Amino acid sequence: MAYKVTMRFNLLRALAPVFTAVSCTLLSSCGLAVMMSSDPAPVLTPVQPAPLAKNVQYVAPTIKAPTLVNPSSSLSSDISGNTQISWSRGNPNQKYIALTFDDGPVTSNTTRLLDMLKRRNIKATFYVLGNRVQNNPSLVKRMVAEGHELGNHTWTHGKLTNMSDTKVRWELDKNRDAIVAATGIKPRTMRPPYGALSTRQRNWIFKEYGYPTILWDVDPEDWKKPGISVVKDRILSKTRNGSIILLHDLHSVSVDAVPSTVDALLRKGYKFVTVSQLIALSK
């Protein structure tokens, strides 16, 4: 009996390495680590993130900057004491500028433009055509209600230097009457189409109507439709204290250039006023 027990014990001792190897193989195939009581504590390896795919670049999130706002002011627009017949620029010692638009109103463009200006608290001067005023009275009323100024730009946009004095009077009178009919307000300044007006004409128009002739010192030639960035760059490079900027709300590209252009001018410290305010500041 003792002999049999001894034999069984010896057999188990002999087979122990085999059982251990088989067990380790089976456990390893299941992804489990085998640890004997005499083994040291296991070392945990942190999981590494998968590498980024090649050619993938980090893109910063887009953050929309707040809209810049022109400072509010209670500047006078009284030009009754003005004796200067023609203006191309205001006071060069102050950072006030005037933004002007010719040849409107045009429903689609001018409506968008008014929204842009309202968002930035900018008051502009619109040199409107009488026949378009007559066709868009509600839009002209909105201009006045939102603090913009209206100027006389004739009825037909004809070249005044080719007209008789009688014909010039007809152009100015018919435009003025259309503005008054739509808004109840008379224009205080005039701008000749193409900037074409003789010295003699400027004198008698000023004497008869009280209109100073308003020209400009910044012309991006937007009527040629050179593109938004070109219009913007030309205005930014030419604008200085007292500038009168010429644009046309007749053209959609000109209106499209307004937001980035005026925002850049605001960042430079310029303040937007109407033409009458610019003249009043220059007394």
pLDDT of 2: 45
pLDDT of 47: 52
Residue 29 and residue 90 in one domain: no
pLDDT exceeds 90 at position 245: yes
Distance CA 16, CA 27 (A): 16
Residue 266 and residue 139 in one domain: yes
* Residue 70 belongs to some domain of the structure: no
Burial of 255 (0-12, 13-18, 19+ CB in 10 A): buried
User: Is residue 219 flagged as an active site residue?
Assistant: no
pLDDT band at 172 (very low <50, low <70, confident <90, very high): very high
* Residue 12 belongs to some domain of the structure: yes
Distance CA 55, CA 3 (A): 76
Q: Domain with 107 in it: what CATH number?
A: 3.20.20.370
Range of the domain at 201: 86-281
Contacts of 191 (CB under 8 A, 6+ apart): 100, 102, 127, 151, 152, 153, 213, 214, 215
Residue 27 and residue 90 in one domain: no
* Overall number of domains in the chain: 2
Tell me what the mean pLDDT of segment 267-281 comes to.
Answer: 97
How do strand 213-214 and strand 86-87 relate by DSSP bridges?
A: parallel
Q: Helix 252-267 and helix 107-120: axis angle, to 10°?
A: 10
- pLDDT cut 70: percent of the chain above it: 77
Q: In the structure encoding, which two tokens stand for residue 98, read together?
A: 């005037």
Tell me what the mean pLDDT of segment 150-160 comes to.
Answer: 98
Q: List, for residues 34-70, the tens digit of each pLDDT value.
A: 344 444 555 555 555 555 555 656 666 655 666 789 9
Number of H helices, E strands in the chain: 9, 7
CB atoms within 10 A of CB 144: 16
Reduced to 3 states (helix: H, G, I; strand: E, B; else coil), residue 256 is helix
pLDDT band at 115 (very low <50, low <70, confident <90, very high): very high
* Residue 256 belongs to some domain of the structure: yes
* Residue 177 belongs to some domain of the structure: yes
64 or 117, higher pLDDT: 117
Residue 269 and residue 143 in one domain: yes
Distance CA 52, CA 212 (A): 68
pLDDT exceeds 50 at position 118: yes
- Active-site annotation holder among 222, 248, 251, 256: 248
* Residue that the structure tokens 């590209």 belong to: 253
Residue 90 and residue 26 in one domain: no
Residue 15 and residue 154 in one domain: no
Residue 117 and residue 243 in one domain: yes
pLDDT of 283: 79
pLDDT exceeds 90 at position 238: yes
Reduced to 3 states (helix: H, G, I; strand: E, B; else coil), residue 77 is coil
Residue 206 and residue 107 in one domain: yes
User: Is residue 102 flagged as an active site residue?
Assistant: yes
Q: List, for residues 178-235, the tens digit of each pLDDT value.
A: 999 999 999 999 999 999 999 999 999 999 999 999 999 999 999 999 999 999 999 9
Residue 100 and residue 217 in one domain: yes
